[in-house]
Structure 1
Amino acid sequence: MSLESTAIPRPASESSAQSNWLSWLLVSFLIYVLLAAVGAIGAGFKAAAGSNAQELFAFASNPAIALIIGVVATALIQSSSTVTSIIVGMVAGGLPIAIAIPMVMGANIGTSLTSTLVSLGHIRNGEEFRRAFSAATVHDSFNILAVAILLPLELLFSPLATASELLAGLLVSDTSVSMSGMNFMKVLLSPASDVLKASVAWLPGIWSGVALILIGIGLILLVVTQIGKVLRTLMVGRAMNILHTAVGRGPASGMASGTLITVLVQSSSTTTSLIVPLAGTGVFSLKQVYPFILGSNIGTTITALLAATAINGAAATVALQIALVHLLFNLLAIGLIYVLPVLRQLPVRMAETLASQAQHNKGYVVAYIGGVFFALPLMMVGVSRLL
């Protein structure tokens, strides 16, 4: 008998464990690059604008324009995590909080386009399409209603800006005391920051800052996409198990599972893309999908909070503040809309009505996507210019 015939094959579980270990190592590296990219955006804005960073964003001085920027950017990039990470870097570079807050709200609306597009996969089956489209557009409806309620309140009374400023001050203060003045993240990220800055040092004047911004944005786009791909491979099987065991147990369980899965895959677009087909095939009802999708809104805020840790110095507080705004906005929206019975069913009714119309006339689908993500933003631009 030959040695080859007696060789013991490597167990599949051992090979799988090694592959998972390498995948998690890759995720860790990608997160490191993400943090360095966010820091590069802040450094780039400072280098390009100097002390006049606020004037750089004069084009977005109107909250309506800022909201539109958030909607359109997220709809185009298909990732609120990416857009909010970029906003964190912009705030660190001088973007006013008052302008960044509507941008973050707009990102919440823009990200819901993904699930709407996913629902089109059921368009050939009328009943499946109605269920899938209603599950997708309940996300849109909730986020649009949340902005319609909370943006005017924010402009009048600034609850999000005030609460996030207090929390950020406490957290940054506590961190600085516990670390005895040592900036751990600065030390950790300095090698990557030095490499990025050196790569553009040859450019004259403000162009080095502009190049650093573009490199930072490009890296964020690349890294968030790659993190999503790797985590989907690692977590989708487990995510599906969580869905089947948790979503149907009630609103609290559904919301918690939506939050957990979105934190794991770092993308609310991925989470909603998982649930919409299941709703279309009748595995879950719209009543069960609704709180799950709200949980994905909470889970997606982890990326901005993570990105804020890349910022150091005087800008650390404001960077953390805008990340906290994203979290508080989603928590407050759930507290106002889902908890209050008078508002809870409004997004559901909106979604069901739209889905019924779309089932009978597919032109409503084109009108809806074009109107919410293109025509409405353009109309708001026109109105804001007249005011």
Structure 2
Amino acid sequence: MSSSLQEANPNILMQTLPKPMRWALLFILVFAMLTAVSLIGGGFKTATQEHANQLFDFASNPFLGLIIGMVATALIQSSSTVSSVIVAMVAGGLPIEIAIPMMMGANIGTSITNTIVSLGHIGNKEEFQRAFNAATIHDFFNIFAVLIFLPLEMTFGMLESLSAMLVAIFSTGATAGVDGFNPIKAVTGPIIGLITYVTTQLPTIYDGIARILIGLALIVLSITWMGKIMKSLMVGRAREILQNSLGRGAVSGITSGTFVTVLVQSSSTTTSLMVPLVGNGIVTARAIYPFTLGANIGTCITALIAALSITGPNAGLALQIAFVHFCYNVLAVLVIYGLAFIREWPPNLSYQLSLKVAEQKAYGLAYIVGVFFVVPLAAVIFLA
């Protein structure tokens, strides 16, 4: 257990700050994230001059959209950041048909973090096999989800239709963000207005690019530090929930994984908490499988919060892509875990892979580089 506690320890700086100060800083960071989303959306719209469709013609192939989301998340190691940026880009004019595969790709890309964490056990063959098994369950689940739902989306537009229905239900009020009073806009408006006033001194396209860059910097910093603060405040509670949920059935595991991820604002953190527990033989990879699925659902909260900051004519589309993320992850759990003949595929495949990687450790590095970078980039070259 001691090594798992070490893996979960947050930044030392966070531990030294008094708890009230950490909560205050957390609220400031949430404000910064909401401001960043609005800046990116407005900047994207200004820079593209309402021609986002033409700008993203190269990604009209859904497989390219999938790869863009996957590689971006693997590089940043935060699906929360990428999904929030996608929400902002939709608000700025990115077609939702392109954004949906990007969201799916972000789910695969975020799996890289816990796979890298498993390399911490590489010195012990048995520990490494168990840890790599636990880490790659998430990978295989997300890959199967894409294999099932991307063709369905391309053929029937299922997620687009379902999310549009949810927007129609929930947009009867401030979430519409067009005619009614939007409290988030009221709070973030002054700072956005100040930044916009400064950037509008630049030529139009540079004005938009400047706002996008400022927004990207803000969103990466805010979500990164939100994760550190939430871990320092909640990781003990999160670990307790994890331990109490193990062995209590699938519903308990999925619910707990969702709740813990909402608490720590990072599915990567949630899944990475479990890898050392399995590596050290405290629990089995099979036992943490439902908890991993809950982490996929819990991470959707960031995109939903980001969507609430959007105002204007594309506010409904921004909320829609956030609902796409939520519907996709919930349906993936219902289908893959709900159907008995598919349920065991992710843990069985990850177990077989872990046995080979434990024997030839170089396969582990080859797997990470190949799955998350080489294959996607080769596909981009082939499809472009």
- Residues 286 and 202 (structure 1 numbering): CA distance in 2 closer, same or farther, change over 3 Å? same
Is 1:354 aligned with 2:353? yes
Mapped to 2, the partners of 1:136 and 1:374 lie a distance apart of 18
- Output the aligned Cα RMSD: 1.8
Native 8 Å contact 1:185 1:312 kept in 2? no
Question: For 2:282, what is the secondary structure of its paired residue?
Answer: coil
Is 1:135 aligned with 2:134? yes
Native 8 Å contact 2:270 2:295 kept in 1? yes
Q: What are the ranges of 5 or more consecutive residues in structure 1 without an aligned counterpart?
A: 1-15
1:107 corresponds in structure 2 to: 106
1:43 corresponds in structure 2 to: 42
Question: For 2:204, what is the secondary structure of its paired residue?
Answer: coil
The Cα offsets for residues 125-165 of structure 1, whole Å up to 9 and x where unpaired, read as 11111110000000000000100110011000011000001
Q: Which structure has the greater CA radius of gyration? A: 1
Native 8 Å contact 1:248 1:284 kept in 2? no
2:11 corresponds in structure 1 to: none
Mapped to 1, the partners of 2:131 and 2:250 lie a distance apart of 19
The Cα offsets for residues 12-65 of structure 1, whole Å up to 9 and x where unpaired, read as xxxx9x922221111111001100100000100111112212212122111111
1:8 corresponds in structure 2 to: none
Question: For 2:309, what is the secondary structure of its paired residue?
Answer: coil
Native 8 Å contact 2:52 2:95 kept in 1? no
1:376 corresponds in structure 2 to: 375
- Residues 202 and 142 (structure 1 numbering): CA distance in 2 closer, same or farther, change over 3 Å? same
Which AA in structure 2 matches 1:165?
A
- Residues 44 and 358 (structure 1 numbering): CA distance in 2 closer, same or farther, change over 3 Å? same
Identity %: 52
| TM-aligned CA deviation for residue 110 of structure 1 | 0.2
2:331 corresponds in structure 1 to: 332
Question: For 1:313, what is the secondary structure of its paired residue?
Answer: coil
Mapped to 2, the partners of 1:211 and 1:54 lie a distance apart of 21
Question: For 1:173, what is the secondary structure of its paired residue?
Answer: coil
Please report the TM-score for the alignment, with normalisation by the length of structure 1.
Answer: 0.92
Is 1:78 aligned with 2:80? no
Native 8 Å contact 1:247 1:257 kept in 2? no
- Residues 27 and 130 (structure 1 numbering): CA distance in 2 closer, same or farther, change over 3 Å? same
Residue-pair matches, total = 370
2:7 corresponds in structure 1 to: none
Q: How does 1:292-303 map to 2 (within 5 A)?
A: 292-303=291-302
Native 8 Å contact 2:256 2:294 kept in 1? yes
- Residues 141 and 178 (structure 1 numbering): CA distance in 2 closer, same or farther, change over 3 Å? closer
- Residues 219 and 354 (structure 1 numbering): CA distance in 2 closer, same or farther, change over 3 Å? same
- Residues 178 and 30 (structure 1 numbering): CA distance in 2 closer, same or farther, change over 3 Å? closer
| TM-aligned CA deviation for residue 174 of structure 1 | 4.3
Native 8 Å contact 1:92 1:319 kept in 2? yes
Mapped to 1, the partners of 2:139 and 2:61 lie a distance apart of 23
Mapped to 2, the partners of 1:311 and 1:359 lie a distance apart of 47
2:184 corresponds in structure 1 to: 185
Which AA in structure 2 matches 1:25?
A
Native 8 Å contact 2:137 2:346 kept in 1? yes
Native 8 Å contact 2:174 2:182 kept in 1? no
2:52 corresponds in structure 1 to: 53
